[in-house]
């Protein structure tokens, strides 16, 4: 009996994985503000709501258990459109969270490891008495340049501006602005290597200021 039930469960899960994906021609996919040809959100999906404020480019693959949201709750009216835009040919690792309230721009050809967290909103800490979770949040636009790679468990905070072809090391917490073609790591993240024309990759401590 146990073998029969195990086989049934596994076959059911395999069928759900085959038919539970979301693509641009599926009814759920057509709720999105835009979803390019070949894009796919793999089953099982995490929380996904207010899809009409979310755009996903062609051939982008979103891993299972990934949450992509616009706003705090389904049905919320947002002040910007799109709130979240993911470019073409991206791979978003499983279990990641992309939580937009104002503007999150993810370029083309970006890959992430699993469990990456990207948000453009955070609570303030103006009042030392009031619980932080009750203090009014603020938003700051986030952008991640095309061709970049984000390792597992990276956190991208509001206002982060990451250039093109940037490697973000696993576990980094990113805030601030970073130029194209560099490697950043740490908490908070800082540049550890960068590409210098005529020299190639140079450790940041060895970069000579112009």
Within a 10 A sphere around the Cβ of 116, how many other Cβ atoms? 24
Give the per-residue pLDDT at 209: 62
Give the per-residue pLDDT at 9: 78
Give the per-residue pLDDT at 2: 81
Give the span between the Cα atoms of 209 and 162, in whole angstroms: 21
The DSSP result for 53-114, as a single string, is GEEE-TT-EE-TT-EEEESSSTT---SSS-SEEE-TT-EE-TT-EEEESS-EEE-SS-EE-S
Question: pLDDT tens across 89-109, in order?
Answer: 999 999 999 999 999 999 999
Q: What are residue 196's DSSP bridge partners?
A: 200
pTM of the model: 0.92
Question: pLDDT tens across 12-27, in order?
Answer: 778 777 788 999 999 9
Give the per-residue pLDDT at 109: 98
Q: Say if residues 98 and 92 touch (Cβ distance below 8 Å).
A: yes
**Spatial CB neighbours of 184, under 8 Å, sequence gap ≥ 6:** 162, 166, 167, 168, 169, 172, 174, 178, 190, 191, 192
Give the per-residue pLDDT at 188: 97
Give the span between the Cα atoms of 134 and 145, in whole angstroms: 33
Instruction: Tell me the mean pLDDT in the region 145-162.
Output: 98
CB < 8 Å & 24+ apart, contacts of 23-27: none
Instruction: Tell me the mean pLDDT in the region 35-60.
Output: 97
For the cut 70, the answer to whether the pLDDT of residue 210 exceeds it is: no
């Amino acid at each position: 009996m146990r073998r029969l039930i195990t086989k049934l469960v596994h076959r059911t899960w395999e069928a759900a994985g085959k038919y539970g994906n979301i693509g641009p021609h599926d009814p759920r996919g057509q709720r999105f503000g835009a979803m390019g040809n070949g894009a796919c959100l793999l089953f099982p999906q995490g929380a996904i709501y207010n899809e009409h404020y979310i755009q996903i480019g062609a051939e982008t693959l979103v891993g299972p258990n990934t949450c992509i949201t616009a706003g705090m709750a389904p049905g919320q009216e947002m002040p910007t459109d799109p709130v979240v835009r993911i470019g073409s040919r991206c791979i978003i690792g499983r279990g990641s969270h992309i939580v937009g309230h104002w503007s999150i721009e993810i370029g083309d050809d970006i890959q992430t490891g699993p469990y990456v967290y990207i948000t453009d909103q955070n609570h303030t800490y103006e009042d030392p008495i009031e619980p932080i979770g009750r203090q009014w949040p603020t938003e700051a636009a986030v952008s991640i340049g095309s061709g970049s790679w984000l390792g597992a468990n990276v956190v991208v905070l509001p206002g982060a501006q990451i250039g093109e072809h940037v490697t973000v090391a696993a576990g980094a917490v990113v805030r601030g602005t970073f130029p194209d073609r560099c490697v950043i790591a740490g908490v908070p993240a800082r540049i550890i290597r960068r590409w210098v024309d005529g020299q190639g990759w140079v450790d940041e401590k060895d970069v000579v200021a112009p």
